[in-house]
Structure 1
């Protein structure tokens, strides 16, 4: 693998092949059936960052006509979890993660569609080191949902438990052409 085919992580260290984030975004959207059920879309995915969108439809409204609290949680949590996937994309055949804790602050009503930005709060290299040394670790991500005017309506903080996979995945990473 040539140096230019290495993936420069948020920490500036080369981590492996250059990931095709558009293809990975499509795979992430399909990975959790509940996301399709609610209609949440992953519109952007990058290293440690993601953007999800959820349209306000009648089935997602609460008793006062705004987006239901559970739907706001869904879009913000999905953005946070997707940010994790983006950060660990080149390592997803070696580690797995599950949410262990989540908190949400609702700061205002969502009267229309929402977009949520997810960001990883830990450092990839540190998480991988702890998994290697201790067999598991925890890291966090934040998802911030905004209304069409850009006003924050909900913020989700998720703690993920990260562990090595017992068996590496038999899935090829979506690598850009010519990057291997």
Structure 2
């Protein structure tokens, strides 16, 4: 399946993601599920998940959702995370997971890409801790252009 190839490609080419133990669990058409283990090396001074680790988890989920939305075209594209915003809601205790989604009409985004050779759009991500508590909400704005 194309989503499995994208997942493997991302895991093979993102050494920082590997360093944190982040795992891409699932990619769909504009969606993703990503997880990070509980590990004391990822903690902050409070003994909870470090904000930087949570951001990396969310950014990875956003990239996986973006790639899933453009699965049939992704090998010919140059994706760049253009901007991001994170709102921390609660401290994250233990293992964490992130759910990414491309809001809106993916077909319309693809049509813009085809017509203009580029497209920009947000990806929304919710981050939860092992108890299901919403720890952060993130938006990553992606810019895709055709490889030259």
Q: Could you state the TM-score of these two structures normalised by the residue count of structure 2?
A: 0.92
Secondary structure of the 2:66 match is helix
Q: Which segment is superposed worse, 123-132 or 49-58?
A: 123-132
- Structure 1: which 5+ residue stretches go unaligned? 1-18, 167-180
Per-residue deviation at 1:69?
Answer: 0.4
Matched, 1:103 2:85: yes
User: How many equivalent pairs are there?
Assistant: 148
Q: For the Cα contact (< 8 Å) 1:51–1:79, is it kept in 2? A: yes
Secondary structure of the 2:5 match is helix
1:123 to 105, 108, 117: 105
Q: For the Cα contact (< 8 Å) 2:2–2:71, is it kept in 1? A: no
Cα distance in 2 for partners of 1:20, 1:43 equals 14
Q: Residue 73 of structure 1 aligns with which residue?
A: 55
* Divergent runs of 4+, >6 A: none
Q: Residue 149 of structure 1 aligns with which residue?
A: 131
Secondary structure of the 2:72 match is helix
Which structure has the bigger radius of gyration?
1
Q: Residue 133 of structure 1 aligns with which residue?
A: 115
Per-residue CA deviations over 1:106-159 (Å, capped at 9, x if unaligned) read 000111100101111243322222223333221111111101121110111000
Q: Could you state the TM-score of these two structures normalised by the residue count of structure 1?
A: 0.77
- Structure 2: which 5+ residue stretches go unaligned? none
Per-residue deviation at 1:27?
Answer: 1.8
Q: Residue 178 of structure 1 aligns with which residue?
A: none
Greater helix share, 1 or 2? 2
Matched, 1:112 2:94: yes
**RMSD, matched Cα:** 1.4
